[in-house]
Amino acid sequence: MYQLKGIAYLGDQLLKQGKKIDQYTTRFMMDALFSTLTNVNFDEKRFVKYILEAQTVKENLKNQVGSLQNVPAAVDYRPPEDVEKMIEDGKKVGILADEIDEDIRSLRELLIYGIKGMAAYAHYAATLGKQDENVNNFFFTALARTLDNNISADELFNLCMELGKMNFRCMQILDEAHTQTFGHPQPTEVLISKKKGPFIIVSGHDLKDLKDLLEQTEGKGINIYTHGEMLPAHGYPELKKYKHLVGNYGGAWQDQQKEFDGIPGCILMTTNCLQKPKDSYKDRIFTTGVVGFDGVAHIEEVDGKKDFTPIIQKALELGGWQEDEEEKKILVGFGHHTVLGLANKIIDAVKSGQIKHFFLIGGCDGAKPGRNYYTEFAEKTLRNTLILTLACGKYRFNKKDFGTIGEFPRLLDIGQCNDAYSALVIAIELAKAFNCDVNDLPLTLILSWFEQKAVAILLTLLFLGLKNIYLGPSLPAFVSPNILQVLVEKFNIKPISNPEKDLNEILSRK
């Protein structure tokens, strides 16, 4: 991160000179940021490579920028080649290394984590050929300001709101990349039980990796299952046309060590959500892209292509499950295109009193106690309320039967955390239809918190002015009491309490 801050400063200077930052530098920035995200890369060798490559990027930028005076130390820093010395240097520039005001540090980390989250979305979009120059430039201008110890709290707060704006645009181009490449998601039943035969489980978020694997496994007798945040892939026409994309295996990321234990098939981790592999499946889990773990086979991209032959051969060798399980299915595919196609019917159902309230219950999942709150909350919602859900938090309740309201399923799965844009578009368009502000809709956001992409989404929600968000199971440790008070006063963010109390409060207010 210290190296990336030095790169950001130089990139920002280049922009101030009216010059452009080249594509290699931009892509290095977003991918290296992404590699530091929660549960992405645990491979020491990969980080050493990034740190050393960052030095080359810095030197190239210095040549382009020219002579500069009084630059931050990160600009002139040169990393040692020795890993132990790198670790010692890291301790000198960590989060608590400088003596600055607690609230400034809190806002600075809020900005940095938001930048990391947005880098993930930008990475996904760039993989599919979609980029936005303003979004790309913001990585440099915003990260450069984190080197300024004289920056005010107001300036940092405004930068956080600007990140929310940029992340909204970033999620928009990712949505365009997905829908233009794979079509608009459609309501689709997904098998959640096992089928006989060799298999590969694909986890993470990268739909292009899934598409490439589907192409390379077609006709080879291998079943492909999604896992975790890859579940929404089944709704995309250009993915579900592959008959060997047979279903979804398991639940959220934190259960993988139990669910993958000794399975007779392979796993491909495409983005974040990786845990330390157990010995019982370490020989059959593969990583790709920015994901890495020491001792785990990695599939590199060569000349823009990935050869999945090693994982295909391993899956065939392992043989897979020996018999079919009894069929069980769940429903996915309610992106903004589908839901807004039903807008008139939804509006009529609200006006007639058939639908009294909308709840968006979603976000990150985790193993920490207290996350059963989201299961209980969903179960306690009334029969005349509609539940929208996205991200891996939905695994707390997405296999339960919530019934229907008229012709609508009560539970509408919008997609990955990446698809938060879909939820926002739905809310914004419904507000227009009802001729009101989004905050005046009978809609409440019940969000679960875990990692940095959640920071980027939260900042987008705040930039858009959404209020009365219920957040839990605990609030982020890097938000200081004073900054939390500002967020509570300005946006009425509410820490969750217990499902019944919160539900009663919501329904009595709306």
The answer on whether 189 is annotated among ligand-binding residues is no
Q: Which CATH class is domain 2-181?
A: mainly alpha
The answer on whether 266 is annotated among ligand-binding residues is no
Would you call 353 exposed, middle or buried from its count of C-beta atoms within 10 A (0-12, 13-18, 19+)? exposed
- Enumerate the domain spans of the chain: 2-181, 188-318, 337-509
The answer on whether 436 is annotated among ligand-binding residues is no
Would you call 33 exposed, middle or buried from its count of C-beta atoms within 10 A (0-12, 13-18, 19+)? buried
The answer on whether 417 is annotated among ligand-binding residues is yes
76-132 tens-digit pLDDT: 999 999 999 999 999 999 888 888 999 999 999 999 999 999 999 999 999 999 999
The answer on whether 364 is annotated among ligand-binding residues is yes
Cis status, amide bond into 476, omega within 30 of 0: no
Q: Select from 283, 298, 291 the least CA-distant residue to 203.
A: 291
Residue 510 has pLDDT above 60, yes or no: no
Q: What is the mean pLDDT of residues 10-15?
A: 98
Record: fold of 337-509: Rossmann fold (3.40.50)
148-181 tens-digit pLDDT: 989 999 999 999 999 999 999 999 999 999 999 9
Given this chain, do its domains 188-318 and 337-509 carry the same CATH topology? yes
d(CA 451, CA 467): 21
- Is the whole model's pTM more than 0.85, yes or no? yes
**How many Cβ atoms are within 10 Å of 144's Cβ, its own excluded?**
23
The answer on whether 170 is annotated among ligand-binding residues is no
Q: What's the CATH number for 188-318?
A: 3.40.50.2030
The two tokens of residue 444 are 């409440």
141-157 tens-digit pLDDT: 999 999 998 999 999 99
